Amino acid sequence: EKSFEEIWNSKEAETFRNKIIKKDYSLCNTDICVGHIIDPKINTPDEIKKLKCHKLRLSYDINCNVACITCRDKIINENKKEYEQIYNKLETILQDIEEIQLSGAGDAFSSKHSRELIKKISKNFPHIKFNIDTNGILFTQQEYEDFKLAGKINDLNISIPGFNKKTYDKIVINGNYDKLFRNLDFLINEKNKQNINNIMIIMVIHAINYKEMPLMSNYAKEKGIDVFYTCYQPWSNTIMAKKYDKMAIFKPKHPEYKKFLKVLESPSLQESHCRFEPFIEEIKFNNINKNNSLINKLLSFIK
C-alpha cells in the first residue's frame, strides 16, 4: 500500500535497524534464520537511510501449483488486484536493484502476476539478476526460453522434499516427480554452460523424509549442485501444523531423535556441497563433538 521509500524510512524499519546496529537481535528468530549475524559496518540509521537498495526479495505472492502438506492444505490460485500495483511502486527503484529474489511464499511460475513481473523486469531492466525459489515442476525449458532467463539467474533454489518418488508423493499434493527431475536435468545443463550461476536443492526436514538426507546429498554431488537442509516449521495453520511435535524429528523429545542424529553422521552429509540451517548445524556439530569426546576417552582408557 505504501511506496518503497515510505517503507524504507518508516519508524518500524528504523526501530529494527537501530536494534541490529546495537547488536540486539531480539526481533530475530536465530534458531531458523538462515542468514549470518554479523557486526554491521554502518553505525547510524541516517547512514542507512541514504543507502540505495541493491537486493530485493519479493515474497508476497502465495499462489502455487502444488500443496505440500507442510505448507498448505489446498492449491492456492488467486488474482489479487493489489498485486498489479506493486510493479508501479517498485519501478522507481528498479534501476538501482542488482538482484531480485522470487518468491518464497508460493511459486513464481504458477502465478499470472509473478510471471508478468519477471517478463517486465527482464525486458525493462536487463541488468537485474534473479534469485528464484521454485518447486521446479513448471520451470520447463520452454518457460526458461520464453522468459529469456539465460545468463540472468544468480541462484536457483528448487524445493524437493523427498528423494524417492514414494516419499515425494506423500508430501507434495498435485506434484509431478518425473517432470521435476526432467526440468532439473535441463537446468543443470544450463548451469554447466554457465547460463545459471548456482543451483541448490532445498530439503525441508521432518519425520517423513529425514532418512533420505544422504540420498539427496549423493544426487546433488553427482550433479555438481548444492543442497540445503532446513527444519520444518508450522508457518500456517494447516492440518500438519497441528501434528508439529510428531513431525519435528530434530527435537530431542522426538522418539526417533537418535535415529536422526545417526543420519547426520552419514559421510555424505559431511561434504562441502551440503549446507544446513543454523539449528541443524548446531545439532550436527554438538553430536560430532560428543562422539569425538567419547572416542578420545576410550582411546585414553586403552592406552
pLDDT in tens for each of the 303 residues of the chain?
Answer: 788 888 888 999 889 888 877 878 888 876 666 555 555 565 566 777 677 788 999 988 999 999 999 999 999 888 777 787 888 888 888 999 999 999 778 999 999 889 999 999 999 999 999 999 999 999 999 999 999 999 999 999 999 999 999 999 999 999 999 999 999 999 999 999 999 999 999 999 999 999 999 999 999 999 999 999 999 988 777 889 999 999 999 999 999 999 999 999 999 999 999 999 888 998 998 887 776 666 566 666 676
CA diameter of the chain: 74
Given a contact cutoff of 8 angstroms between Cβ atoms, the answer to whether 209 and 203 are in contact is yes
pLDDT of 26 reads: 85
pLDDT of 288 reads: 75
How would you class 263 by CB atoms within 10 Å of its CB: exposed for 0-12, middle for 13-18, buried for 19 or more?
Answer: middle
pLDDT of 290 reads: 75
Q: Give backbone dihedrals phi and psi of 253, rounded to 5 degrees, phi first.
A: -80, -10
pTM (2 d.p.): 0.87
Helix, strand, coil shares, percent, the chain, to 5: 45, 15, 40
Grid coordinates in use for 265? Answer: 553422521
Picking from 177, 171, 221, 214, the residue whose alpha carbon sits closest to that of residue 199 is: 221
Cα 216 to Cα 194, 230, 268: the distances in Å are 23, 13, 9
How would you class 135 by CB atoms within 10 Å of its CB: exposed for 0-12, middle for 13-18, buried for 19 or more?
Answer: buried
Given a contact cutoff of 8 angstroms between Cβ atoms, the answer to whether 173 and 67 are in contact is yes
pLDDT of 260 reads: 97
Grid coordinates in use for 9? Answer: 524510512
Given a contact cutoff of 8 angstroms between Cβ atoms, the answer to whether 178 and 72 are in contact is no
Grid coordinates in use for 237? Answer: 495453520
pLDDT of 19 reads: 85
